[in-house]
Structure 1
Amino acid sequence: MRTRRGGRILGYALKFAQMDIKSVSAQPILLRRRDVAELLGVSERTVEVMKARGDFPIVRLAGRSVRYPREAILDFIQARTVRATI
């Protein structure tokens, strides 16, 4: 579901709610951009924009390599998950 701004607010909550805890904990501690994009249900470009805004912390490795702490991404999702009211 998209909002006027093109975000997938409901997608975050649904994807987080449907995750199997074992599959999340089986992921590496540091995630690549494509892994974060898949987890959030957004494009890799959107992850870059979110990184530039400072939405979540990064770990800079040798050279220009960037990784995203798994726990920080899960905290990001959980902080933006809201209970639906009908």
Structure 2
Amino acid sequence: MLRSFTNRELGMVELALEEEDINWRRNRRRRGKWVHNAWKKRDIEEEFVSLLPHMKCDGIKFYEYFRILLYTFNELERKLEKKLRKKDTLLRQ
């Protein structure tokens, strides 16, 4: 099949493929990776402490990470607030 092409035509195909390859490599290098602000501080702070405030601002991200609706989480938090609060004991004095 290649015998039906002239050397000039094969050269043009080669140049076109090379240009396409160069463009693909350039575009691949430019592609940045976007990282949500919540994930940037995970190494510095504890995971839950740093994630919760960010996730509460974004209901979709909250649901994707915790698998519970933000509204449901807030209701549970409100109902369990008294039981989860730290109590003063003799050991803390």
The interval holding the TM-score normalised by the smaller chain is under 0.3
More helix by share: 2
| Relative contact order, higher structure (CA 8 A, sep 6+) | 1
More strand by share: 1
TM-score when scaled to structure 1? Answer: 0.24
Higher Rg: 2
TM-score when scaled to structure 2? Answer: 0.23
